[in-house]
Amino acid sequence: MSSASFLRMVGRRNIREVAGDDHRRVRAMMARFLRLDAVKNYVSAMDDEVRRHLRAEWSGRAAVAVMPSMKSLTFDVMCTVLFGLERRGDHAAVRRELSSEFQQLVRGIWAVPVNLPFTTFGKCLAASRRGRRAVARIVEERRRAMMPRGGGDLVTHMLAEGMDEEEIIDNVVFLMVAAHDTTAVLLTFLLRHLDGNRAAYERVAAEQEAIATQRRRRGGSGSGSALTWDDLAGMRYTWAAAMETLRMVPPTFANMRKAVADVEVGGYVIPKGWQVITAATMTHLDPAIFPDPGRFEPARFEAAEAKAKAAPPFSYVPFGGGARVCPGNEFARAETLVAMHYIVTGFRWRLAAGCDGGFSRHPLPCPNQGLLLDIEPKEYNEL
């Protein structure tokens, strides 16, 4: 990824780029919106979006390309929960516009920054401008409708915190990039690894079926009640499997940081202004830290096992670490668990004929054929 390309597509005032007091201010704002007790209130909306997506994109089909499906799902969750965009009226058109422009914008982040009308970068930069104008209209709408104490969606929250329009747009675009592909990659590769490990799949399925039974009891007849935060808290093994997936296939294989001052590390001086790249797989796949690192073993992250064999600090970093650890990790956890509940309890799956389950990086992990799965509904599908 070119730093210049990223800045042109996303903007210079996003949380990734700012430092010092500006970073602490923006991070504190996001942390308040994405704090644990706030995420608990988003579970019902996530539940509705996941069921809606699976009914539309999975039910009645014999096969599904998982990666495109999960990208569509995470985009819809983001629009509804983070940005408060409804599916009807003017918001429906805004969602479609953002989806179209966003797909091109993401391509531009990884393009060579040559701004000519016929280059990939030039076309994607034009899409970024159109997307930013769409976000600006959302900001203005929220400003006109805002109550004195703010409101429920992230844009209103930013306005209530006193952020100006440019800063809001830069951070909204950044969150769209950060929250979209990463969770989609996690869900896609979690299904892939469970398909290849029947013992792990059976444990995940048993855990999810037990929670589905609880939902049916709460909801009486019909499809049962929506998932609750307490339900998600009971998905311990499912989240252990997700964490193991993040260890083996981290969505972001490397992080870049700029030295704000000369710093000495291991006897080497890194000059101010230099970019430093850290690769997660260097520790995630280190057998001295994670024995037999090529084996998918969710038990590594079960409570008792993880406590007994705790990895050294900053050796497991799918969400980053330190002062810049991802503030949305609880949001990603909730979104992942809600999606897995309805996939596991609603469908059986296996790799489709001709799909080898392999992947490459462009630069995020990209499975061959989008990870094409043959699917069939379970008897008690409750979508």
Distance CA 99, CA 77 (A): 12
* Best CA proximity match to 341, nearest among 239, 193, 248: 239
Amino acid in position 362: H
Distance CA 362, CA 347 (A): 29
> Taking a C-beta distance cutoff of 8 angstroms, is the pair 154, 144 a contact?
no
Amino acid in position 58: W
Mapping DSSP to helix (H, G, I), strand (E, B) and coil, where does residue 139 land?
helix
Amino acid in position 297: E
Helix or strand holding residue 276 (H, E): strand 275-279
CA quadruple 159, 161, 162, 163: dihedral sign:
negative
Q: Which residue has the tokens 């999606």?
A: 339
* Best CA proximity match to 210, nearest among 245, 175, 176, 237: 237
CB-based contacts of 49: which residues, under 8 Å, 6+ apart?
73, 76, 77, 80, 81
6: its two tokens: 């990223």
326 annotated to bind ligand: yes
Distance CA 306, CA 371 (A): 30
Cis peptide leading into residue 313 (ω within 30°)? no
Alpha helices in the chain (DSSP H): 3-10, 20-33, 36-39, 43-57, 66-77, 90-109, 120-145, 154-160, 165-195, 198-219, 229-233, 236-248, 281-284, 303-308, 329-346
What does each C-alpha distance from 42 to 48, 80, 169, 210, 327 come to in angstroms? Answer: 10, 10, 22, 22, 15
**Residues flagged as binding site:** 326
**Residues flagged as binding site for heme:** 326
